[in-house]
Structure formats: structure tokens, C-alpha cells
């Protein structure tokens, strides 16, 4: 399995993020059981501070073997949903209510399992059910080892996801967690994800299904209080504890 954490500093430097990149009112993140999930606490803290007015996290059971729901609760500053039948705060039917409120649904990291399930309409947990229920654009950030990524079935499933109208971000190089050998298929660094996200979603700004109702401005994906401006020192946001 890949270990992109050995390659990337999870902190995001100011000079890695251009102004006017990814902005979103409500970001829903589905985290699945790739070892790349260990990067997510810092990534979510950054997204929460710089990119989205509200970040809500969903986690599979496997994802919680790597990172606790409690940690994501702290880093996201919001409820964390791990179960289709969970009731928390005002949310009673999470796969419907959370996707309805989302501007973008980011599956990050997306393991081979969720890619396969979503490509085939399987809804046997909260994240897979939410993907099917989402009217917001669904963007997959794959993370797996090279053999898995290059397997015929994963490539077929990725093609299928794109054909179904979903977006799949290109993975990058990394290291196997088991033996630290170089590999490919790792989750890209957050700056890279944000750049690809901007490019993907700006292409779809005209689509009625994917246009953000909250901000028709063409240069941004979704509305934000600061309309795309980053604070003076965005690197501060990368690793808040
Ligand atoms: C140490 C470890 C690392 C793993 N890393 C990955 C990974 O990077 N990508 C992947 O697709 N699966 C990986 N897996 C396998 C998934 O965790 C497994 O397929 C799991 O059933 C996925 O469940 P989920 O999709 O419900 O989270 C890993 C498993 C282990 C034990």
C-alpha cells in the first residue's frame, strides 16, 4: 500500500497555493481505508480554515483503523459521520441531508473498494450511499499501491466513474508503507489536489447539475466569505492542533 506521507510534508505552504484556487461553501469529505488517510487531519484543518465555510467528514470503518473519528471531529470542528443510521445534531438521515447541503463531495482518500462500489452502484455503507444520493459533484482522490492502481479492474472502474459524471483526480508517486519502496498511485499532496479540483470543477461551471447555486462567479467554484482571497499567512492553517 502506498505511503504518501513519507513523501509529502502535510503542511501546506503559502507559496504552494495560488489565490483564487478552490473555494467552497460546504465541503463534504468521505474518507476511506487507504493509509493515505493519515494525512487527512492536517488537510482537513487547512480546508476548514482556508477553503470552505463548513467541512463535514464521513469515515468508513477501515478509515477509522488509521485515524479516529474523534480526531476528525476535532480537526474539522464539526460532527463526523461513520454510520448510515447515525443521528447527530440536526442530521437524521445523513446520506440525504449531508449531500443535499454539500457544494462538493470529495472522496479523499478513495481506496480501490469505494471506487469499485461507486462504479457499480453499490450502497452498503454511508459513503457509498451518499455518492449515489449526491447531486453535488463527486470528486475521487485515489490512493493505493501501483499494482492496485494499474489493475484492469480499477482502471475499468475509474473509466466508469468518469462516464457516470464523476471526477477522478490523478494519483501520483509515493512509497509503499510496508517496505518504503517507490510506488505510484498515491494520493497527491493537498496543493496538487486543490489545483486539479479547481481545473475539474471550473470546466463544469456551466453544467446545471454541477454549477454552484451559491456563487455564479465564473472564476470561483463556490461562494466564500472572502471571495477567493487567502489570509496573509495561509501556512498557519496547515497544522493547527
Ligand atoms: C495497512 C493497510 C493499508 C492499506 N492501504 C490501502 C490503500 O492505500 N489503498 C487501498 O485501496 N486499500 C488499502 N488497504 C485496504 C483497504 O483498507 C481495504 O480494502 C478495506 O476493505 C477498505 O474498506 P473501505 O473502503 O470500507 O474503507 C489497506 C489495508 C491495510 C491493512
Give the pLDDT confidence of 107-146 residue by residue, as tens digits. Answer: 999 999 999 999 999 999 999 999 999 999 999 999 999 9
pLDDT value of residue 178? 86
Mutate to test the pocket of ligand 1, among 111, 128, 129 (most ligand atoms within 8 A of CB): 111
Could you tell me which of 14, 7, 13, 63 has the C-alpha nearest to residue 34?
63
Going by pLDDT thresholds of 50, 70 and 90, the confidence category of residue 202 is confident
Q: What residue ranges do the domains of the chain occupy? A: 4-8+18-224
Q: Is the CB of 144 under 6 A from ligand 1?
A: yes
Four-residue CA torsion sign, 187, 94, 202, 72: negative
With b meaning 16 or more CB within 10 Å and e meaning fewer, what string describes 62-72? bbbebbebebb
Q: Is the CB of 63 under 6 A from ligand 1?
A: yes
Comparing 189 with 22, the larger pLDDT belongs to 189
CATH class entry, domain 4-8+18-224: alpha beta
* Beta-strand relationship, 172-175 and 182-186: antiparallel
pLDDT value of residue 200? 80
Residue 89, burial from CB neighbour count under 10 angstroms (0-12, 13-18, 19+): exposed
Going by pLDDT thresholds of 50, 70 and 90, the confidence category of residue 75 is very high
Q: Is the CB of 143 under 6 A from ligand 1?
A: yes
- Residue whose Cα lies nearest atom 7 of ligand 1: it is 34
Q: Is the CB of 64 under 6 A from ligand 1?
A: no
Asked if the model's pLDDT at residue 224 lies above 60, the reply is no
229 Cβ partners below 8 Å, 6+ apart? Answer: 19
> In percent, how much of the chain has pLDDT > 70?
76
Residue pLDDT, tens place only, 147-165: 999 999 999 999 999 999 9
Question: pTM (2 decimals)?
Answer: 0.81
Asked if the model's pLDDT at residue 230 lies above 90, the reply is no
Residue 60, burial from CB neighbour count under 10 angstroms (0-12, 13-18, 19+): buried
pLDDT value of residue 146? 95
Residue 54 has which C-alpha cell?
463548513
Q: Is the CB of 148 under 6 A from ligand 1?
A: yes
pLDDT value of residue 203? 76
CA 108 to chain centre: 3
Going by pLDDT thresholds of 50, 70 and 90, the confidence category of residue 197 is confident
Residue 98 vs residues 27, 82, 95: alpha-carbon distances, Å: 10, 12, 6
Nearest atom in ligand 1 to 127's CA: 26
Nearest atom in ligand 1 to 110's CA: 11
pLDDT value of residue 20? 57
In a 13 Å sphere around the CA of 199, the CA atoms on its Cβ side amount to 10
DSSP 8-class letter at 234: G
Q: Is the CB of 3 under 6 A from ligand 1?
A: no
- Residue whose Cα lies nearest atom 19 of ligand 1: it is 113
Q: Are 27 and 81 in contact (CB under 8 A)?
A: no
Asked if the model's pLDDT at residue 95 lies above 50, the reply is yes
- Residue whose Cα lies nearest atom 6 of ligand 1: it is 34
Comparing 133 with 232, the larger pLDDT belongs to 133
Q: Is the CB of 113 under 6 A from ligand 1?
A: yes
pLDDT value of residue 89? 85
Sheet holding 138-142, edge to edge: 80-81, 52-59, 24-31, 104-110, 138-142, 167-168
Asked if the model's pLDDT at residue 232 lies above 50, the reply is no
In a 13 Å sphere around the CA of 194, the CA atoms on its Cβ side amount to 23
DSSP 8-class letter at 6: G
Amino acid at each position: 500500500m502506498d505511503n504518501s506521507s513519507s513523501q509529502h510534508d502535510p503542511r501546506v505552504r503559502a507559496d504552494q497555493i495560488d489565490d483564487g484556487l478552490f473555494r467552497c461553501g460546504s465541503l463534504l469529505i468521505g474518507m476511506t481505508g487507504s493509509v493515505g488517510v493519515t494525512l487527512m487531519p492536517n488537510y482537513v484543518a487547512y480546508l476548514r480554515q482556508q477553503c470552505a465555510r463548513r467541512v463535514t467528514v464521513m469515515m468508513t470503518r477501515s478509515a477509522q483503523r488509521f485515524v479516529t473519528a474523534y480526531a476528525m471531529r476535532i480537526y474539522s470542528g464539526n460532527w463526523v459521520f461513520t454510520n448510515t443510521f447515525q443521528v447527530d445534531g440536526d442530521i437524521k438521515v445523513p446520506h440525504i441531508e449531508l449531500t443535499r447541503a454539500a457544494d462538493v463531495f470529495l472522496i479523499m482518500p478513495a481506496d480501490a473498494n469505494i471506487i469499485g462500489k461507486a462504479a457499480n452502484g453499490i450502497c452498503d455503507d454511508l459513503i457509498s450511499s451518499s455518492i449515489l444520493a449526491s447531486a453535488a459533484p463527486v470528486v475521487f482522490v485515489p490512493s493505493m499501491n501501483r499494482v492496485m492502481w494499474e489493475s484492469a479492474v480499477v482502471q475499468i472502474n475509474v473509466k466508469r466513474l468518469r462516464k457516470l459524471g464523476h471526477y477522478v483526480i490523478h494519483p501520483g508517486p509515493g512509497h509503499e508503507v510496508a517496505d518504503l519502496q517507490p510506488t505510484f498511485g498515491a494520493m497527491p499532496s493537498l496543493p496538487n489536489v486543490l489545483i486539479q479540483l479547481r481545473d475539474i470543477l471550473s470546466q463544469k461551471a456551466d453544467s446545471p447539475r454541477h454549477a454552484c447555486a451559491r456563487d455564479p462567479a465564473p472564476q470561483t467554484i463556490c461562494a466564500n466569505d472572502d471571495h477567493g482571497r487567502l489570509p496573509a499567512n495561509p501556512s498557519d492553517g496547515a497544522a493547527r492542533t
